[in-house]
C-alpha cells in the first residue's frame, strides 16, 4: 500500500467523524435534516470529500478490500460535484445514517491492517 492510501483512509475516517458529530451536535433527525441547511450542507460536503478521498485510493487497495463500495462512493461524489441541486435529501440522509456507519466499520478494519503493515 502506498502512503497516499493511508492518508486517504484516515481522511475518510475524519470526515465520517464529522458527519457523526454534525448529526449529534445539531440533534438531527430525518424530519429536521431537510430543514437545517447548515447540517445538510455540512454532511453533504463531508460525503463529497469522502468520495474524493476514495477516488485517490490505489487500485491495489480497492481490489484488496473489494467489499467496500468504492465505486459508489466516487459516483456519489460526482453527483454532488456536478448536480448538487438535484440531490435527494432522503438519499443524503440515508447515506449519512445507514451507509456511513457501515463504511466506518470497514475502514476501521482497513486502518488496523495498515497499522500492522507499518
Query: Each residue of 66-111: pLDDT tens digit?
Result: 999 999 999 988 888 877 667 789 999 999 999 999 999 999 999 9
Domain that holds residue 43: 3-116
Please report which confidence band the pLDDT of residue 1 belongs to, taking 50, 70 and 90 as the band edges.
low
Report the C-alpha gap between 112 and 75 in whole angstroms: 26
Number of structural domains (the chain) is 1
Who's near 107: CB < 8 A, 6+ residues apart?
A: 9, 12, 13, 16, 68
Instruction: Read off the pLDDT of residues 47-67 as tens digits, 9 standing for 90 and up.
Output: 999 999 999 999 999 999 999
Whether the Cβ atoms of residue 110 and residue 9 lie closer than 8 Å to each other: yes
Report the C-alpha gap between 65 and 106 in whole angstroms: 9
Mean pLDDT, residues 17-41 taken together: 95
* In the predicted structure, residue 31 carries a pLDDT above the cut 80: yes
CA dist list (Å): 49 to 9, 27, 43, 109: 12, 22, 10, 20
The DSSP secondary structure of 99-110, one letter per residue, reads IHHHHHHHHHHH
Amino acid at each position: 500500500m502506498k502512503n497516499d492510501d493511508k492518508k486517504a483512509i484516515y481522511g475518510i475516517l475524519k470526515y465520517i467523524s464529522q458527519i457523526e458529530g454534525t448529526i449529534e451536535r445539531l440533534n438531527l433527525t430525518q424530519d429536521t435534516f431537510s430543514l437545517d441547511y447548515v447540517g445538510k450542507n455540512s454532511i453533504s460536503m463531508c460525503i463529497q470529500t469522502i468520495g474524493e478521498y476514495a477516488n485517490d485510493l490505489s487500485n491495489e487497495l480497492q481490489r484488496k478490500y473489494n467489499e467496500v463500495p468504492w465505486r459508489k462512493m466516487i459516483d456519489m461524489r460526482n453527483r454532488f460535484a456536478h448536480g448538487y441541486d438535484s440531490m435527494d435529501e432522503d438519499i443524503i440522509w440515508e447515506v449519512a445514517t445507514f451507509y456511513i456507519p457501515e463504511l466506518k466499520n470497514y475502514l476501521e478494519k482497513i486502518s488496523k491492517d495498515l497499522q500492522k503493515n507499518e
